[in-house]
Amino acid sequence: MNKSELIASIATHGDLDKATATKVINALLETITAELKAGREVNLVGFGAFTVKERAARTGRNPSTGQEVEIRAARVPGFKAGKGLKEAVN
């Protein structure tokens, strides 16, 4: 499912027009992004938690040349599924 299909599904299930559903989805994504950018978690009980993880600097290899490359430390988004989502999938 892509973003436009998600918007169409939410519009149908939520009895909304597509323009309103688009605003809702965009607001949700912008809010989650802003919270993660600020280093905070977003917990949706029963669904899961979005977090920011710290990835340490490390040495990697260029696959085409085999040369060692330094990969710098980074903050990366993470997601841990909640109990309700896990049970729904299984």
Cβ–Cβ < 8 Å for 36, 52 = yes
Q: Which residue type sits at 54? A: E
Q: Could you say which architecture CATH assigns to the domain 41-90?
A: Irregular (4.10)
* Count of residues making up the chain: 90
pLDDT digits (tens, 9 = 90+) for 9-58: 999 999 999 999 999 999 999 999 999 999 999 999 999 999 999 999 99
Q: What is the pTM of this model?
A: 0.81
Provide the token pair at 56. Answer: 């340490």
pLDDT digits (tens, 9 = 90+) for 13-27: 999 999 999 999 999
3-state secondary structure (DSSP) of residue 43:
strand
pLDDT digits (tens, 9 = 90+) for 67-89: 999 999 999 999 999 999 999 99
Q: Where are the domains of the chain?
A: 1-39, 41-90
List Cα–Cα distances, 9 to 16, 54, 79, 80, 83, in angstroms.
Answer: 10, 34, 23, 24, 23
